[in-house]
Amino acid sequence: MVTIVPFINLLYKLKFQRAHQTTRDAFNKLTPIFDKFHKTKAGTPVGGGLLIIINTVILFFFTMFLMITTGFEIISNYANVQAEVKILLFTFISFSFLGLYDDLKKIFFWREEAFFGLRVRHKLVFETVLASVIAYWIFHDLRIDILNIPFFGVYELSWLYIPFATFVIVAFANAVNITDGLDGLASGVLSIALMAFWAVSVSILDTPLLVFIAIWLGGMISFLYFNIHPARLFLGDTGALSFGATFAVIGLLLGKTFALPIIGGIFVLEIGSSALQLASKRLTGKKIIPASPLHLWLQLRGWEEAKIVARAWIMSVLFVIFGLMIAFLK
């Protein structure tokens, strides 16, 4: 919390702020509805995600070092604790670099390019490569290759787990990025969802995960204080892509893949509405709803930004409760 205000002042000095610009969709077409509702946000500093990532990584290493040096027992679900930490931190940091590159292009360079910097297909290629590496490590280093579906049983996917996990990671990276369109929406929903995964990690006594989530959650709550409407600081793609991918990886590491889309239900609704819209435009040339993602459509219908966010938080709490019920089923 104490680092945020000086960091905001630094971002103003560096002019690392949301720029005045027209945006384009995946088909390189102008998005006047999006621009209409977001023009007032121009000038707000972007980089909250970067601060959270730096603080979380530093505090995670510091906390783990203290635990080890004081003789605290490090418990993990996996024999290879180093591989678990490697996967967690690589996801957190690598996706942040991809997002940071895109943020820099949005703010300083080549603003005329589609989709705020990197084109959609370019972003998906980079995301898929990173996610494939992570999925391979989960499969090879941690020996995870099963999918547990409550009431139906456990299914061994073998090497098919790699493309499956890759899809999950890429999907949630983009889902959180798409959701991060209103003040406090993505950060609030993610904070609520992380509380659920922290509870699961505590219940199975996985020390690296519960420590990492606790520190990350502290950063998210501190950021949320400054991100609620009217926001003084935005996550940026740096945070959104990193946090979405890491959220998915935590679900995979906890073995709660089936509960993941339930606990992150708001993110699923957001990316689902965008995917349906893109598919409809591609196949029929028409919109299936007046605007996407879901929060933008609600704005178009006249809902106030604060009302959309507050109701999303309430829905997220309900998703988390139901998701935890599913997660703890044997």
Residue matched to tokens 């991060």: 180
Contact, 292 vs 277, CB < 8 A?
Answer: yes
Name the residue ranges covered by the structural domains of the chain: 29-327
Q: What's the token pair of residue 248?
A: 């998915």
Min mean pLDDT across 83-97, 110-124, 178-192, 248-262 is at: 110-124
Distance (Å) of CA 41 to CA 2, 24, 227, 231: 24, 17, 12, 8
* pLDDT bracket for residue 123 (50, 70, 90): confident
Span 208-248, pLDDT tens digits: 999 999 999 999 999 999 999 888 999 989 999 999 999 99
Contact 194, 323 (CB under 8 A): no
pLDDT score, position 20: 57
| Cβ within 8 Å of residue 282, ≥6 positions away | none
Residues recorded for the chain: 330
Give dist(CA 233, CA 222) in Å, integer: 11
252-281 mean pLDDT: 93
Cα–Cα distances in angstroms (integers) from residue 168 to residues 163, 172, 252, 319, in the given order: 9, 6, 9, 18
Q: What angle do CA 191, 195, 199 make, to 5 degrees?
A: 165
Residue 200: HSE in the Cβ half-sphere, 13 Å Cα cutoff: 28
| Interatomic CA distance for residues 210 and 14, integer angstroms | 35
In this prediction, residue 281 has a pLDDT band, given cuts at 50, 70 and 90, of confident
**Encoded tokens for 207:** 């020390």
pLDDT per position as a tens digit, 152-173: 888 889 999 999 999 999 999 9
- pLDDT value of position 107: 75
Q: What is the distance between the terminal CA atoms of the chain, rounded to a whole angstrom?
A: 39
d(CA 165, CA 288): 29
